[in-house]
Amino acid sequence: METKIFRISSIFENPDALQQAADILAGGGLVAFPTETVYGLGADGLNEEAVRAVYRAKGRPGDNPLILHICDTEMLSLLARQVPEQAIRLGLEFWPGPLTMVLPKTARVPDAVSGGLDTVAIRFPDNLIARELIRRSGRPIAAPSANLSGSPSPTTAQHCIDDLMGRIEAIVDGGPCGVGLESTVVSLTGEVPTVLRPGGITVEELQRVLGQVQVDPAVTRPVEEGKRVSSPGMKYKHYAPKARVVLVDAGREAFVRYVNERKGEGIFALCFSEDSSALQAPAVCYGGRAKPEEQAQGLFGALRQLDDLGAQLVFAHCPSKDGVGLAVYNRLLRAAAFEVVTL
């Protein structure tokens, strides 16, 4: 199939292109589009067939449910059977923004979206192009990240082109994503609000609004074989470049020494910007040492760059594990398939 590319500098300058992309969505087609987190691969979230096509285009396992993206509260009541008070408090504080809430679903939500669960993940994105696209299409948009399943999520339109060209109807190029990692997913279906995936809205911020919030153990630990998980996405190896990645949990000097003792053919470092000059192996930086937001923004592009450079083995310097750092750490743990060296 021929994939159309729409370059949109702003919703005010390119309304016709936006309308064409929205019409493709309304007609059951697939459109990759920018959000503030990562690019999403959108489909009509109420159209079972369109949703199935998303799984096919990505090569995604069918039991890993999708997030429905909304642009107003009317869509929320169409999709959620119940909107608990906690959801309202979070919505007032963080929507539109990089927060996804898991809520009890209505019968309107197709099983193909919810992966057969009784719940649905809902997000109100804070990106004008995304919101205008949803509004113009007139329906909630199901959108996983717009990458091939297993590869790092796309933070630029070029990443979507690299992965999905010829497999989907259109790609909306709206520039690079600001946050760079996928949204925080919080489940509000149990006793205590539970973070299933850390992201740009931190656990600390959620606790400030809700009081008690717990973090699902699968955020930082591998899921045991055969064990039931609250978020099916957590059991898959995600965000992985083709190279073997080893996460090195160490201070600056120990990391530099560790890499310099092991340099060789195909060996790369994934490091903080301040440290690249001290490394004797070729290095790709993913942000400043004390700048978790910058690390979040740079990580997925850096992982893709390592593949382009032909890296075989990557020693990645572990970020701090609090605030936005927890989200960066979570993605790197998965990129490393939980192979961690602690020095």
| Residues written for the chain | 343
Residue 241, interface with ligand TXA (CB under 6 A)?
Answer: no
From the CB of 333, what's the least distance to ligand TXA, in Å?
A: 14
Residues binding Mg ion: number (CB under 5 A): 1
Pick from 233, 287, 301, 325: which binds ligand TXA (CB under 6 A)? 233
From the CB of 176, what's the least distance to Mg ion, in Å?
A: 17
Pick from 47, 64, 155, 295: which binds ligand TXA (CB under 6 A)? 64
Pick from 47, 86, 114, 127: which binds ligand TXA (CB under 6 A)? 114
Residue 266 gets the label, from left (phi > 0), alpha (psi -120 to 50) or beta, of left
From the CB of 19, what's the least distance to Mg ion, in Å?
A: 27
Residue 185, interface with ligand TXA (CB under 6 A)?
Answer: yes
- Residue showing the smallest CB distance to ligand TXA in the complex: 233
Pick from 145, 184, 202, 330: which binds Mg ion (CB under 5 A)? 145
Nearer to ligand TXA, 235 or 317 (CB): 235
Residue 38 binding partner per list ligand TXA, Mg ion, none, with a CB distance cut-off of 5 to 8 Å that depends on partner kind: ligand TXA
Span from 78-86, 179-187, 254-262, 317-325 in contact with ligand TXA (CB under 6 A): 179-187
Span from 73-81, 115-123, 139-147, 172-180 in contact with Mg ion (CB under 5 A): 139-147
Q: In Å, what is the CA distance from 57 to each residue of 13, 14, 31, 143, 148?
A: 30, 27, 11, 12, 8
Pick from 31, 54, 90, 121: which binds ligand TXA (CB under 6 A)? 121
* Contacting ligand TXA within 23-52 (CB under 6 A): 35, 37-38, 40
Nearer to ligand TXA, 150 or 282 (CB): 150
Residue 295, interface with ligand TXA (CB under 6 A)?
Answer: no
From the CB of 296, what's the least distance to ligand TXA, in Å?
A: 11
Residues forming the site for ligand TXA (CB under 6 A): 35, 37-38, 40, 64-67, 100, 102, 114, 117, 119-121, 123, 143-145, 182-183, 185, 196-197, 230-233
Residues forming the site for Mg ion (CB under 5 A): 145
